Amino acid sequence: MPCKRSETVTIPQTLMTFKASDPNSGLCVKYRIERLSEDRFSEVNDLMANVFIKHEVTCASLELFNDPDFDGRKSWIEVLNKRISLVCFKDGSDEICGFNLLEVLQKDSEKPEIEAKSKNLEDIVKVKNFIHAKADTYNRHGVDKFLHSRGLLIVPKYRGLGLSTKILKARIPLGRALGVKVSGTIFTSDVSQKTAAKAGFVEDFSVLYEDLRNKDPFVDFPNVSTPSMKFMSLTLD
């Protein structure tokens, strides 16, 4: 199960600053990546429900946004309440440019039961559990915990500026503050996989979408152009 953050851990509010293009003016401006504050949880939850699941490959393939039995808000707010998720702002603005829902997973902890009324969500969870088992992060990296993502979104207006690479790299100072040595995440699209590699992530396990359909766990993701799903990891120390 996700590891609850100790209140004695001190995490800097701002983890990274960098410069990138402003989509409004085209000028090079300063951006900052911070820990997401509680007053923005509701907005991020809305962005997950209204934008993320329409664009993330597996969610879009199974049309979770049209699934009356799916509601991820409770699950997402539980992750946000860990208070280690990241958000990106343009300097001088409080408009969210992008964010990353993060949690620390702990070895040998009891996995929480997923209350899934949605068959589509059950299939996604089944596949992700399969990939996590194959990647075997704890034994592969010799760790008892790792930093894990439940969703990274760049708001459409801010795409193509390199913000996702910076948000991924911001896991390094976050992980150091938390005392976590490795971050591991499933990347479902070729674009996100290339971005992860650019940020320093390496592939631990990959599986073809075709094989997911024809072999265990026998889950079909229709209309997916990306060849494979990958679990990739980043050393944080």
Both tokens of 87, joined, read 């958000």
Domain 2-235 has CATH 3.40.630.30: yes
pTM value? 0.93
pLDDT tens, residue by residue, 147-157: 999 999 999 99
Query: Would you say 80 and 101 are in contact if contact means Cβ atoms under 8 Å apart?
Result: yes
> What is the C-alpha end-to-end distance of the chain, expressed in Å?
23
| C-alpha neighbours within 13 Å on the C-beta side of residue 33 | 27
Task: At 94, give phi and psi (nearest 5°).
Answer: -110, 15
pLDDT tens, residue by residue, 89-112: 999 999 999 999 999 999 988 665
C-alpha distances in Å from residue 221, one per residue of 37, 125, 171, 187, 208: 35, 13, 29, 15, 11
Average pLDDT score, the chain: 94
pLDDT tens, residue by residue, 101-142: 999 999 988 665 556 689 999 999 999 999 999 999 999 999
